[in-house]
Amino acid sequence: MPFDALPPIGMGTFRLKGDDAREAVRSALSLGYRHIDTAQIYRNEAEVGDGITSSGIPRREIFVTTKIWFDNYHRSDLINSLQTSLQQLKTDHVDLTLIHWPSPGDEVPMEEYLGALREAQKEGLTDHIGISNFTCAQMDQAKAILGDTPIFTNQVEVHPFLANRKVVEHAQNLNIPVTGYMPLAVGKVMEDETLQKIAAAHHVTPAQIAIAWCVSRGVVPIPSSTRPKHQTENLDALKIRLGDEEIRAIDELDRGERIANPDFAPVWD
């Protein structure tokens, strides 16, 4: 039975390698995570698959996301590469497949790679399809190309120092749910005085406040953590309810500080 919505929080695996990736995924699932996010370019799909298998949690209860790298955007390459990803992940399908970045310089037309992704969905390789790092204009273009085929998410960088408000609101207006990666700004949230103050009032950590703020905006956070203690805290952050003044104070931390900004990135909104 396919999931009809994204689980409320996911476990990100960016930069996790080898046994660290295996154990982090196994631990996260044992603690209650049901959404695991990986990508071809992370070069850890096999280890993520090992972690899922060793967790003992039935595959049907786990939402698995992977992302196609732009070297594989031509029609035949995309489906072949996704089949390789499935082999590495030790599964016959993933729940969600994303286009990781818009094709740099539009080298491969969006019609081609989104069409191939839709074909992969029709072949049963993936239950849902989506996009990542797409701008407002690119979301409009993707929606026009895919027509009645739902875009399950646009996965973009979201944290208190990069609210990414224009993209988040545009996606939500298009009924495209938003997944927020790097919600802890690679640990920088721990050092912020505003977040520390709000965290102290709730007897939680600044990281938990950053996650609760994402959730308050309707964004699904996918923090990455290898420590069971932090994984548990991330899950517990879903229970935190921030007041309007606290949300406003966190909103004011936005300084457009983009961490993931490679030279092939689109022109951001």
Residue 42 annotated to the active site: yes
Looking at residues 84-110, what average pLDDT do you find? Answer: 98
At 181 the pLDDT is 98
Q: Is 90:50 a contact under the CB 8 Å cutoff?
A: yes
pLDDT in tens, 14-62: 999 999 999 999 999 999 999 999 999 999 999 999 999 999 999 999 9
Question: Model confidence at 182, in pLDDT bands (50, 70, 90)?
Answer: very high
In this model, does residue 114 exceed pLDDT 80?
A: yes
* Of 33, 42, 73, 113, catalytic: 42
pLDDT surpasses 70 at 166: yes
Mean pLDDT, residues 221-246: 97
Provide the token pair at 208: 């938990």
Mean pLDDT of 180-203: 98
Centre a 10 Å sphere on the Cβ of residue 190 and count the other Cβ atoms it contains: 14
Domain layout of the chain by residue ranges: 11-251
**Residue percentage of the chain with pLDDT more than 70:** 100
pLDDT in tens, 126-156: 999 999 999 999 999 999 999 999 999 999 9
* Residue matched to tokens 């689980």: 7
pLDDT at 2: 75
To the question of whether residue 100 is assigned a binding role by annotation, the answer is yes
pLDDT, mean over the chain: 97
User: Is residue 1 scored above 70 in pLDDT?
Assistant: no
Cα(2)–Cα(107) distance, integer angstroms: 33
CATH fold of 11-251: TIM Barrel (3.20.20)
